[in-house]
Amino acid sequence: MQKPPKKKEKCPHCEGKGLIKLGDRKVKCSRCGGSGFKPSGPKH
Protein backbone atom coordinates (compact mmCIF):
# COMPACT_ATOMS: atom_id res chain seq x y z
CA MET A 1 0.00 0.00 0.00
CA GLN A 2 1.18 3.44 -0.83
CA LYS A 3 0.62 6.35 1.43
CA PRO A 4 -0.39 9.54 -0.28
CA PRO A 5 2.33 12.13 0.05
CA LYS A 6 1.66 14.51 2.83
CA LYS A 7 1.06 17.90 1.45
CA LYS A 8 2.99 20.24 3.60
CA GLU A 9 2.34 23.87 3.19
CA LYS A 10 5.23 26.19 3.21
CA CYS A 11 5.23 28.76 5.91
CA PRO A 12 4.41 32.03 4.20
CA HIS A 13 6.17 33.94 6.91
CA CYS A 14 9.60 32.59 6.15
CA GLU A 15 8.82 31.21 2.71
CA GLY A 16 9.65 27.72 3.79
CA LYS A 17 13.11 28.54 4.98
CA GLY A 18 12.43 28.43 8.66
CA LEU A 19 14.53 31.48 9.12
CA ILE A 20 13.69 35.12 9.01
CA LYS A 21 16.22 37.63 7.93
CA LEU A 22 16.44 40.23 10.59
CA GLY A 23 18.87 42.92 9.72
CA ASP A 24 22.19 41.23 9.07
CA ARG A 25 21.36 38.06 10.92
CA LYS A 26 18.81 35.32 10.75
CA VAL A 27 16.43 34.26 13.41
CA LYS A 28 14.22 31.25 13.68
CA CYS A 29 10.77 31.83 12.32
CA SER A 30 8.35 32.12 15.18
CA ARG A 31 5.41 31.03 13.09
CA CYS A 32 6.66 27.63 12.14
CA GLY A 33 9.34 27.31 14.78
CA GLY A 34 12.07 26.95 12.22
CA SER A 35 10.55 24.04 10.36
CA GLY A 36 9.71 26.07 7.32
CA PHE A 37 6.28 24.60 7.13
CA LYS A 38 2.99 25.69 8.46
CA PRO A 39 2.30 24.07 11.79
CA SER A 40 -0.11 21.24 11.33
CA GLY A 41 -3.28 21.23 13.33
CA PRO A 42 -4.56 23.78 15.73
CA LYS A 43 -2.36 24.39 18.70
CA HIS A 44 -4.24 25.36 21.79
Instruction: List contacts with Zn ion (CB under 5 A).
Output: 11, 13-14, 29, 31-32
Nearer Cβ to Zn ion (1/27): 27
Nearer Cβ to Zn ion (1/13): 13
35 dihedral zone (left: phi>0; alpha: psi -120 to 50; beta): alpha
Nearer Cβ to Zn ion (2/19): 19
**Helix/strand/coil for 25:** strand
Proportion of the chain in helix, strand, coil states, percent, rounded to 5: 0, 25, 75
Provide the minimum distance between the beta carbon of 44 and Zn ion in the complex, in angstroms, as a whole number. 19
